[in-house]
Amino acid sequence: MTAQAEIAAGYASEGAAIELGAVLVDGTVESTAHVRIPLSMVNRHGLVAGATGTGKTKTLQLLAEQLSNNGVPVLMADVKGDLSGLSQQGQDSDRTKTRAADTGDDWQATAFPVQFLSIGTGGIGVPLRASITSFGPILLSKVLGLNDTQESTLGLIFHWADSKGLPLLDTKDLRSVIQHLTSDEGKADLKGIGGVSSSTAGVILRALVNLEAQGGDRFFGEPELDPADLMRERDGKGVVSLLELAELQGNPALFSTFLMWLLAELFETLPEEGDVEKPKLVFFFDEAHLLFSNASKAFLDQITQTVKLIRSKGIGVFFCTQLPTDIPNDVLSQLGARVQHALRAFTPDDQKALARTVKTYPTTPHYDLEKALTSLGIGEAVITVLSEKGAPTPVAWTRLRAPRSLMDTIGNDAIKQAASQSDLHGKYSETIDRESAYEQLMQKVAPPQEEHFPEPQRQEKEEPGMVEKVLGNSAVKSFLRSAGSALAREITRGLFGTSRKRR
């Protein structure tokens, strides 16, 4: 038996699997020696890492294609727009033919069902939004760049609003709540919350106003994303949801926390699955270092917790980043599949990261890992995954298969056009137009023809006493109590302090 075949034997699987490629030893690839991830293990998560230009994005494309083929929906961040090619057939070139032959792949040009989404309005995809209430204080603190004290103050403010049944839909709603609490009229309320200094509340208010000035208000509001829209099938294939993020690069904290919100939402809404034959959804966190850099302890704990727990909901999470050391150890240790593209070892820091990466792999008689990790070709990776039995597979220097869809962007115009024709367009393209949660509450309770609320009062929206006026109104109180209304859903806070709704 060749060394290649010996390694590949560790990847044999009875159930369906994602075919990654073929094993190389001493520079020789054996096309029958296959490296694969069992579909039943994809919810044990994974990492795709490597220096720039080494093939990470193509690996994500390959994974997404095969998940889709197996009826598994996929959500991925398309940071550079180059994953949009998933929606079109790939090009049959000599290089593709050679790679197919090397990896024992019956390659055929294939297009996949893709829906193009954006975070907030003003992007090229269908806009997704979260309400402030649902986003919760921990994630919002990350976006606002708050310190730990400010973060816990924001938590108390949310708690106050929750307990008063005040839905915070957009940044304006939160702004008016904080304005109320820091006003003369709100002093008593502020005292009631306990532990909130008016100056800290003022700092939060300023951060919020800054966020709004930078266009951050485009991401909060309604209609809020229904997670079910990410878990679709078309013609037996899982739909690939691509979050087009190019326009967000100026605000990476927002993009990474929005993804984390999505994950928490999925966690809150999906039923417990236990062991699954194949995942319900796979979530790819590209540029994962953005999620972890400058994160508070609370935030990091919550990520760790979410990654740990979400597996039981049948969801797989793959992080993608340049260095595995970008990922905290508590998270790293939960990632069952490792696809490590070439690392650079130019600087002493590089060398350290390399040595640490080598330590995270099982020992192997076939490779000098330190050497292997720096000499991998483009579209090659050092891989270990979990076998169907849950044991780590042998380390395999793998030549990866080529994606079957287009390895390039389809361009912004084509993305925009596809998004405008998507069936989600009608549902999400327009922000539900209203000035604030409070106004909407009043209108629901008092339809315009019954003049329960005279004009002058309605125009005083920004005035400090407004919260009390609204809260004091008995019609509003009964509205808040009534079941079945989206706004009256009981709010309890789960992971990340994102709100858990009764659905």
Ligand X SMILES: Nc1ncnc2c1ncn2[C@@H]1O[C@H](COP(=O)(O)OP(=O)(O)OP(=O)(O)O)[C@@H](O)[C@H]1O
Q: Work out which of 400, 415, 437, 445 binds ligand X, going by CB under 6 A.
A: 400
- Residue type present at position 336: G
Residue 400's binding partner out of Mg ion, ligand X, none, with CB under 5 to 8 Å set by partner kind: ligand X
Residue 45's binding partner out of ligand X, Mg ion, none, with CB under 5 to 8 Å set by partner kind: none
Residue 50's binding partner out of ligand X, Mg ion, none, with CB under 5 to 8 Å set by partner kind: ligand X
Distance CA 474, CA 231 (A): 41
Q: Nearer Cβ to ligand X, position 53 or 192?
A: 53
Assign 3-state DSSP to the chain and report helix, strand, coil percentages, each to 5: 45, 15, 40
DSSP of 222-256? SSPP-GGGGS-EETTEEPEEEEE-GGGTT-HHHHH
Binding mask 52-91 for Mg ion (x = CB under 5 A): -----x----------------------------------
Looking at residues 71 to 130 of the shown chain, list those that interact with ligand X (rule: CB under 6 A).
99
Closest to 12 (Cα-Cα) out of 353, 396, 463, 459: 396
- Piece of the chain touching ligand X by CB under 6 A; list 272-280, 310-318, 399-407, 457-465: 399-407
Least Å distance, CB 61 to ligand X, is: 8
Distance CA 148, CA 294 (A): 12
Least Å distance, CB 335 to ligand X, is: 18
Paired tokens of 240: 């690939």
Sign of CA dihedral 424, 426, 429, 432: negative
Quick check: 230 and 113 in contact, CB under 8 A? no
Q: For residue 324, give Cα distances in angstroms to 52, 284, 309, 332.
A: 13, 15, 21, 8
Quick check: 118 and 109 in contact, CB under 8 A? no
Q: Nearer Cβ to ligand X, position 203 or 292?
A: 292
Least Å distance, CB 243 to ligand X, is: 16
Least Å distance, CB 385 to ligand X, is: 17
Binding mask 26-65 for ligand X (x = CB under 6 A): ------------------------x-xxxxxxx-------
Least Å distance, CB 291 to ligand X, is: 16
Least Å distance, CB 464 to ligand X, is: 49
Q: Nearer Cβ to ligand X, position 155 or 379?
A: 379
Residue 407's binding partner out of ligand X, Mg ion, none, with CB under 5 to 8 Å set by partner kind: ligand X
Distance CA 283, CA 64 (A): 10
Distance CA 32, CA 4 (A): 9
Q: Nearer Cβ to Mg ion, position 82 or 185?
A: 82
Least Å distance, CB 104 to ligand X, is: 14
Sign of CA dihedral 452, 455, 461, 463: negative
Least Å distance, CB 60 to ligand X, is: 8
Distance CA 240, CA 76 (A): 8
Least Å distance, CB 85 to ligand X, is: 10
Q: Work out which of 63, 77, 402, 495 binds ligand X, going by CB under 6 A.
A: 402
Q: Nearer Cβ to ligand X, position 46 or 120?
A: 46
Distance CA 151, CA 203 (A): 11
The neighbour count for residue 502, using CB atoms within 10 Å, is 10
- φ, ψ of residue 17 in degrees (nearest 5): -145, 160
Residue 278's binding partner out of Mg ion, ligand X, none, with CB under 5 to 8 Å set by partner kind: none
Distance CA 192, CA 471 (A): 16
Least Å distance, CB 80 to ligand X, is: 6
Residue 212: in which H helix or E strand, if any? Answer: helix 198-213
Q: Nearer Cβ to Mg ion, position 52 or 474?
A: 52
Q: Nearer Cβ to Mg ion, position 77 or 169?
A: 77
- φ, ψ of residue 492 in degrees (nearest 5): -125, 145
Q: Nearer Cβ to ligand X, position 58 or 129?
A: 58
Instruction: Please work out the total of residues on this chain that contact Mg ion, with binding judged by CB under 5 A.
Output: 1
Paired tokens of 485: 């209304």
Footprint of ligand X on this chain (CB under 6 A)? 50, 52-58, 99, 378-379, 400, 402, 407
Point out which residues bind Mg ion (CB under 5 A). Answer: 57
